[in-house]
Amino acid sequence: MLTLARDLRRRKARERTGDFVAEGVRTVEELVRSPLEVRGALVSPALAEAPRGAALRAALEARGVPITDVDEHAFASAADTESPQGVLAVGRIPARDVAQLTGLAEGRILVLDAIQDPGNVGTIVRTAAAFGVAATIALPGTVDLWNAKVVRSAMGAHFTHPAFAATWDALDSLAGWPRWAADTDGAPLAPPYPRKVMLVVGNEGNGISTEARSRAERVVSIPIAHVESLNVAVATSILLYELRA
């Protein structure tokens, strides 16, 4: 478990094994509560001192999750955070793809086009879940959704919310979804809104790619003053709030 957890810090290892790491009391609590398969947990003595630590250990045992106890030094070698809470768990990345979205009569699909900050992406997945978005899809160039910091920032949201990676080709196979791209030069977002929208949001510094722009039926924006732009997680959250059903 220790070797596997260390290995899973690399994206390539996550892609090869199909496993990911959830770190910290809150995130592991959400994982244990979720329908995802949990392969094992790594625990250090710090967990016993953490609030809800004993309850979490009991929950892991009750679900039959194998627990490996290690010392603080070994734990730190696998942990992503600087002040880990003495617990991480290895889960199975769920099989999800665009096929599960066919037949949807209404809703919003969120597409992340080369968003690179793990904290931003995790926050966006958390908000997308909160507003009932049908799926959050990460295009190539976006940080891996199963990066430990993304998972932590999402507060467990993508254990239940359909977040997954896909290509433009896969998105093109989804018919009947008007594509809107968000950028600072777009038309101010205003109702009425269609029953179905696929919303594409872009990179922190560069905005949406030319590929996204050329495929968009509309480019929309949030009217702002005094500053050049909003943080991408903030802008995406406001757009999802405005477009909520």
Rule CB under 8 A: which residues touch a copy of itself?
119, 123, 126-127, 129-132, 153, 155-157, 160-161, 222, 224-231, 233-234, 237-238, 241-242
The distance of closest approach from Cβ of residue 3 to a copy of itself in the complex, given in angstroms and rounded to an integer, is 28
CA atoms of 82 and 233, how far apart (whole Å):
23
> Could you tell me the smallest distance in angstroms from the CB atom of residue 181 to a copy of itself?
19
Closer of 94 and 119 to a copy of itself (Cβ): 119
Task: Answer yes or no: are the C-beta atoms of 107 and 196 closer than 8 Å.
Answer: yes
CA distance 2 to 12: 17
As a whole number of angstroms, the distance between CA 150 and CA 84 comes to: 15
Complex with a copy of itself: residue 156 or 207, whichever CB lies closer: 156
CA distance 180 to 198: 6
Cβ at position 89, least distance to a copy of itself in Å: 19
**In the complex, minimum distance from the CB of residue 231 to a copy of itself, in angstroms, rounded to a whole number:** 5
CA-CA-CA-CA torsion sign (164, 170, 174, 178):
positive
Q: Which is nearer to a copy of itself, 26 or 39 (CB)?
A: 26
Q: Which of 231, 218, 233 is nearest to 185 (CA)?
A: 218
Task: Kindly report the number of other CB atoms within 10 A of residue 141's CB atom.
Answer: 14
Tell me whether residue 158 or residue 179 sits nearer to a copy of itself (CB atom): 158
Q: Which is nearer to a copy of itself, 165 or 235 (CB)?
A: 235
**CB of residue 136 to a copy of itself, shortest distance in Å:** 12
> Residue 154: which of 1, 34, 14 has the closest Cα?
34
